[in-house]
């Protein structure tokens, strides 16, 4: 197994663990993304969204990609991990736009540049086996 596959597998595992954490600890996910469920009593169920989107979706997406990465020895099939890499790149891009366009009242001091770097690093790490082929 190449170093590129190991880097990608580590990034995918990390992302899957984030999803697993959000699935079983939605309050933790709420703190990470700094969003709150709708506090209106007539609109319950906000934690369902944390569990579904930040939990189940991230977990299953990254676990599936990890299985593809580790079980398939075909460079063309490895392209299946590229949309996930592109998603993390898009998150970094969106956060960069937010950092440049939003006012300081809509930014956590010092955290946005860190998340930008993390998201771009995850994008590159997940894509490492495919980028290496080129």
pTM for the model stands at: 0.84
Q: Structurally, how many domains does the chain consist of?
A: 1
pLDDT tens for each residue of 67-124: 999 988 777 778 889 999 999 999 999 989 988 888 777 666 677 888 899 999 999 9
Range(s) of the domain holding residue 65 = 3-133
pLDDT tens for each residue of 42-60: 766 677 777 888 888 999 9
Closest to 66 measured CA to CA, from 22, 133, 6, 109: 6
Query: What one-character-per-residue DSSP string does 97-114 give?
Result: HHHHHS-GGGS-TTHHHH
- Whole-angstrom Cα distance, residue 27 to residue 30? 5
């Amino acid at each position: 197994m190449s170093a590129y596959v190991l880097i990608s597998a580590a990034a995918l595992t990390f992302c899957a663990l984030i999803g697993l954490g959000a699935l079983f600890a939605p309050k933790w996910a709420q703190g990470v993304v700094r969003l709150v469920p709708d506090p209106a009593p007539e609109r319950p169920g906000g934690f369902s969204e944390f569990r579904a989107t930040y939990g189940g979706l991230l977990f299953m997406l990254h676990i599936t990609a990890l299985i593809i990465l580790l079980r398939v020895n075909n460079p063309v099939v490895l392209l299946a991990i590229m949309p996930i890499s592109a998603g993390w790149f898009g998150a970094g891009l969106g956060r960069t736009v937010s950092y440049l366009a939003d006012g300081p009242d809509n930014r956590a001091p010092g955290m946005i540049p860190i998340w930008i770097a993390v998201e771009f690093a995850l994008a590159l790490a997940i894509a490492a086996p495919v980028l290496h082929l080129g």
